[in-house]
Amino acid sequence: MDMVTVGDPKMTIGGQAAPTTDFVEVINPSTAEPFVKAPVANPMQVNDAVAAAKAAFPAWSTTPIAERQQLVRAFAAKLRENIDILAHMLTSEQGKPINNAKGEINGAIATMESYCDLDLDPVVIRDKPEQFVELRRRPLGPVAAITAWNYPVLLCLWKLGPCLVAGNTVVVKPALVTPLATLKIGEIAREIFPAGVVNVINGGNEVGAALVTHPDIRKIAFTGSTATGKRIMADAAPTLKRLTLELGGNDAGIVLPDVDPKKFANDIFWAKFSNCGQVCAALKRLFVPDSLHDALIAEMIEIARSVKIGDGFADGIQMGPIQNAAQHARLVALVEDAKAKGATVLHVGEVPDGPGYWFPITLLGDVPSNADIVHEEAFGPILTVYRYSDPEDALARANASQFGLGASVWTSDVGAGAALAERMEAGSTWVNQHPSMGPDIPFGGVKQSGLGVEGARWGLEEYTSVHVVNVKKVGP
């Protein structure tokens, strides 16, 4: 990708391009080489962005919701006009195939637009001759939206939609390693929204911490690791900020004995390996009955061998690289630890020659309970497979995790599958799919996979506080 396509990325503060003297090199994970420098906010600019959001809040929060929704729709239309450049930025910084990048952006825009069809009308709780009680929804104030590097555009727009429609202003901070498409979103937002409503700054942990602890930020919407989510929760405590935390997962899937491996293998495979396995709610632990194990694994290996891995700009590519060197090294360590403790390597695929953070499609079996990968999230193309003879044993092992983001059951009997899925400990449980989301479906985790939900009316309400108006109609 050339510099003309990338342009000159700048942050957005108070409706203006924000110059800076601090920069970070953005690395293309397919080459492991930097290709552009992105701006990094200094402490004063963090404060300026929050101040701009705070200053814009009174007018924006009192703008009628229909007018806010009209501007969000205009923003969506402008994003679609820029989809080619956004997709090129996304593929260059994240590594995913260009068609997948366009799919991410289109889906994210559609989800953001879905909030324009929702309302926050008051709800009458009590209407009696002597008393009237009504519940209203109020915006919170300036929000800090902190996103992750696996789906930079999707995570940004998932947060902007409900945040803006609810009447909040926002400071967005993308992951330091994938800032470009998000900075471009900020540039586009300057054309649509009043100054200060949408601010986009870039930076690492210190910028994130400054936002989380800032007294004028009223809510943190964060997607990322559980470890970082715990730090955010602790740092937000002194000012009692509202939190939406969409954190890690170690999702289990249980295959029931009535499954036909040839019919189910492809869907199970891509439930894990979509986006090179860099999906918080990907299937990561697969429980297979003894009677189906060998046949299902054989089918999945055949699929794995057919997957075309490479630079996301090349034709026909289905899977790109791991996004960054640190994550690549962590995946290597997880596999080596599992092997050292007795795991069986069922399959290791081929990867492109040359530079880039390439990681092979890997299937591990006989993984001992003391292996790190059993208890930690393998955020990459590694699937651990566990045999079982009793479905109750599989359920117990599936639920024996600190995480609870998603889970699935695979079966020809959807009634039996739904009954078992209901007993799995996760924020979302699916039957014969994993994951499956939509703008009208809330998404969130239990246990150490997060707090709150994103999506639909429930996600919109996460960006509001409850205000009860209680009127006594008669005098003393």
pLDDT digits (tens, 9 = 90+) for 434-444: 999 999 999 99
Q: Is 362 buried (19+), middle (13-18) or exposed (0-12) by CB count in 10 A?
A: buried
- For residue 114, the model assigns a pLDDT of 98
Catalytic residue among 280, 377, 454, 462: 280
Q: Which tokens is 171 given?
A: 């400071």
Among 234, 206, 215, 83, smallest CA distance to 146 is for 206
Q: What is the Cα–Cα distance from 235 to 279, expressed in whole angstroms?
A: 26
pLDDT tier for residue 7 given thresholds of 50, 70 and 90: confident
Inter-residue contact 190 to 16 (CB < 8 Å): yes
Q: What is the Cα–Cα distance from 219 to 57, expressed in whole angstroms?
A: 13
Look at residue 37 and give its three-state secondary structure: strand
- For residue 475, the model assigns a pLDDT of 73
Provide the terminal-to-terminal Cα distance of the chain, rounded to the nearest Å.
74
Q: Is pLDDT above 70 for 371?
A: yes
pLDDT tier for residue 5 given thresholds of 50, 70 and 90: low
Q: What is the mean pLDDT of residues 215-243?
A: 98
Q: What is the Cα–Cα distance from 374 to 367, expressed in whole angstroms?
A: 7
- For residue 2, the model assigns a pLDDT of 44
The position carrying tokens 């730090």 is 231
Q: How far is CA 111 from the centre of its chain?
A: 13
| pLDDT tens, position by position, 162-203 | 999 999 999 999 999 999 999 999 999 999 999 999 999 999
Q: What is the Cα–Cα distance from 263 to 470, expressed in whole angstroms?
A: 58
- DSSP 8-state assignment for residue 194: P
CATH 3.30.565.10 fits domain 251-439: no
**β-bridge mates for residue 18, sequence order:** 11
Q: What is the rounded average pLDDT for all residues in the chain? A: 97
Among 296, 288, 293, smallest CA distance to 390 is for 288
The position carrying tokens 């009174």 is 58
Q: Where in the chain is the domain with CATH 3.40.309.10?
A: 251-439
Q: What is the mean pLDDT of residues 57-86?
A: 98
| pLDDT tens, position by position, 253-282 | 999 999 999 999 999 999 999 999 999 999
Could you give the residue ranges of the DSSP H alpha helices within 63-151?
A: 65-81, 83-94, 98-114
Q: What is the mean pLDDT of residues 456-466?
A: 98
Inter-residue contact 69 to 60 (CB < 8 Å): no
Catalytic residue among 93, 113, 246, 462: 246
- Residue 246 catalytic? yes
Look at residue 109 and give its three-state secondary structure: helix
Q: What is the DSSP string of 381-404?
A: SEEEEEEES-HHHHHHHHH-SS--
User: Quick one: which H or E segment has residue 283?
Assistant: strand 283-289
- Residue 280 catalytic? yes
Three-class DSSP labels, 240-281: CCEEEEECCCCEEEEECCCCCHHHHHHHHHHHHHHHHHCCCC
C-alpha count within 13 angstroms, C-beta hemisphere, residue 131: 8
Q: Where in the chain is the domain with CATH 3.40.605.10?
A: 3-247+448-468
- DSSP 8-state assignment for residue 189: H
Q: Is pLDDT above 90 for 3?
A: no
pLDDT tier for residue 1 given thresholds of 50, 70 and 90: very low
Q: Is pLDDT above 90 for 459?
A: yes
pLDDT tier for residue 474 given thresholds of 50, 70 and 90: confident
**At the fourth CATH level, which superfamily is domain 3-247+448-468?**
Aldehyde Dehydrogenase; Chain A, domain 1 (3.40.605.10)
Does the pTM surpass 0.85? The reply is yes
